[in-house]
Amino acid sequence: MEQNSLSVYREISLNGVLNSMQKFVLAAIVKHPNSSDKEISEYTGLPINCVTPKRGELASKNLIYSSGSKINNKNHAVKLWEATA
């Protein structure tokens, strides 16, 4: 699935559909599927309050989807994100 997602990311990047921050967050999700917002923040080095809106924009464009959830270290359920194929 990662190869298909990478192909989608490249096509979108070339077509100029996404801004640079959206591309950066999407690239992290492609490289690290099934990641929470906090993990995406850690992978990118961006603050969580920058990651969450960009992730939301990607989801609204149907470029990523919630692939499930897990319990974090604070015992809260968090969504996991993956790029669409």
- The helix/strand/coil state of 69 is strand
Provide the whole-model pTM.
0.80
69 Cβ neighbours under 8 A, 6+ residues apart: 77, 78, 79, 80
Residue 68's CATH number: 1.10.10.10
pLDDT of 22 reads 94
Compute mean pLDDT per 10 residues along the chain, 85 residues long, and list them. Answer: 62 71 95 97 97 96 95 95 90
Domains held by the chain: number: 1
Q: Whole domain around residue 30: which residue ranges?
A: 2-83
Helix axes 37-44, 20-31, angle to 10 degrees: 110
- Alpha carbons 10 and 52: distance in angstroms, whole number: 22
